[in-house]
């Protein structure tokens, strides 16, 4: 199996896991900042263990790369906080779908760094995604939390697109586990002074036969944070940021389905219509990438 095909498989697997992160904005009783700090602290430790277990070097190649790692960590930290905040203000579907303006941003942001022009098919896919996201938003009102959640979700999407493009250009020569270790570590350190919840007050792994807060936090940190972000970082070695962004449009559909099944937040007809456009754009981009490999 070629490296690009392997990257495509890893990308689709990471998107499936990313789709489940939205649930924790509702399942955990903490603020978006607290959730982000706790998950990244655990994720950083888990990634360090994995790196040591694999026998890889934890150090970066030169001092300049440490500065880049800090920059990427700050950007992704702000993205995670705004991502959870958007869904807490509105709901899983609205917050996640507002965030998914980021493929559109990526298509037009990446050429600015690479000094290239966006292809017509990328613009077409981006426009399809934009229309799909617009259809998924039920209504806009500047006086309610839904509108604020949408605005914050859009900001989160921009930050994520910026991180992906910068990672692709300046940090993709590192393995995904190594790259994400430094980024999650930076986020944990950056947010730790602002945490309000006391980790010692959380419930344990299991409570009354179900998952406690610690159990949910570990699942979020390791399975839904460390693993998929490491996969995604690896993908940038063989796939462009805009390709990853457009294929990642499957994430809101996974999130909406999981929210419906677990949280009872069932989608409306407009969500089905908009979701169909998003899926078609993601599938179209995947087919084009696969054909290019031949």
Q: What is the pLDDT of residues 139-198, one digit of tens each?
A: 666 667 777 888 898 899 999 989 989 998 899 888 888 998 999 999 999 999 999 988
Label residue 122 by pLDDT band (50, 70, 90).
confident
- Tell me what pLDDT residue 142 has: 62
Is residue 265 within 8 Å of residue 91, measured between CB atoms? yes
- Tell me what pLDDT residue 14 has: 87
Residue 31 has pLDDT above 90, yes or no: yes
What is the C-alpha to C-alpha distance for residues 292 and 42, in angstroms, rounded to an integer?
A: 39
Residue 1 has pLDDT above 80, yes or no: no
> Residue 290: beta bridge partners?
none
> Where do the DSSP E strands lie in the chain?
206-207, 210-211
- Tokens representing 169 are 């250009």
Q: How far is CA 75 from the centre of its chain?
A: 12
What is the C-alpha to C-alpha distance for residues 58 and 35, in angstroms, rounded to an integer?
A: 26
- Tell me what pLDDT residue 289 has: 61
Size of the chain in residues: 294
Q: How far is CA 113 from the centre of its chain?
A: 21
What global pTM score does this model have?
A: 0.82
Which 8-state DSSP code applies to residue 207? E
pLDDT, one tens digit per residue, over 202-218 is 888 888 778 899 999 99
Is residue 192 within 8 Å of residue 198, measured between CB atoms? no
Is residue 282 within 8 Å of residue 250, measured between CB atoms? yes
């Amino acid at each position: 199996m070629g490296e690009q095909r392997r990257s495509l498989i890893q990308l689709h697997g990471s998107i499936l896991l990313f789709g489940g992160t939205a649930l924790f904005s509702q399942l955990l009783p903490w603020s978006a900042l607290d959730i982000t700090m706790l998950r990244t602290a655990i994720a950083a430790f888990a990634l360090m263990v994995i790196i040591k277990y694999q026998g890889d070097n934890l150090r970066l190649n030169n001092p300049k790369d440490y500065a880049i790692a800090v920059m990427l960590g700050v950007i992704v930290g702000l993205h995670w906080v705004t991502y959870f905040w958007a869904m807490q203000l509105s709901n899983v579907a609205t917050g996640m779908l507002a965030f998914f303006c980021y493929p559109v941003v990526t298509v037009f942001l990446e050429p600015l760094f690479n000094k290239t022009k966006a292809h017509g098919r990328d613009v077409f896919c981006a426009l399809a995604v934009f229309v799909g996201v617009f259809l998924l938003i039920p209504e806009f009102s500047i006086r309610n939390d839904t509108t604020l959640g949408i605005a914050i979700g859009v900001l989160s999407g921009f930050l994520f697109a910026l991180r992906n493009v910068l990672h692709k250009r300046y940090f993709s020569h590192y393995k995904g586990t190594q790259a994400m270790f430094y980024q999650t570590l930076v986020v944990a350190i950056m947010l730790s002074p602002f945490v309000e919840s006391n980790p010692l007050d959380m419930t344990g792994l299991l409570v009354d036969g179900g998952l406690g807060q610690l159990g949910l936090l570990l699942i979020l940190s390791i399975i839904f944070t460390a693993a998929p972000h490491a996969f995604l970082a690896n993908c940038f070695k063989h796939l462009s940021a805009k390709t990853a962004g457009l294929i990642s449009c499957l994430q809101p559909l996974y999130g909406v389905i999981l929210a419906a099944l677990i949280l009872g937040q069932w989608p409306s007809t407009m969500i089905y219509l908009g979701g169909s456009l998003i899926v078609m754009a993601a599938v179209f981009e995947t087919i084009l990438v696969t054909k290019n490999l031949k």
